[in-house]
Amino acid sequence: MNVQESFNKFIKDSKRVLKVSRKPDRQEYIELAKVTSIGVVIVGVIGFAIFLLGSLIGL
């Protein structure tokens, strides 16, 4: 498969995904924002705990 065929396949697949996708409604967007925010907070707390632990043991 050459570059032109790969590019055409990518464009075709992208068009198919855009046809199937839809805009989320308000409730779905709020739920997604909440889950994403919780994930960011959890990763931040874990990172801070690792940083704090490293500071305490002198790394």
Separation of alpha carbons 16 and 23, rounded Å: 15
| Mean pLDDT over each residue of the chain, to the nearest integer | 93
Torsion of CA 35, 19, 12, 14, to 10 degrees: -20
Q: Which of 12, 10, 36, 40 is nearest to 24 (CA)?
A: 36
| Average of per-residue pLDDT across 32-58 | 96
Tell me the one-letter amino acid at 8: N
pLDDT of residue 2: 85
Of the two residues 15 and 1, the one the predictor is more confident about is 15
| Average of per-residue pLDDT across 16-22 | 92
- Residue 18's contacts (CB-CB under 8 Å, 6 or more residues apart) are none
Confidence of residue 50 (pLDDT cuts 50, 70, 90): very high
Confidence of residue 59 (pLDDT cuts 50, 70, 90): low
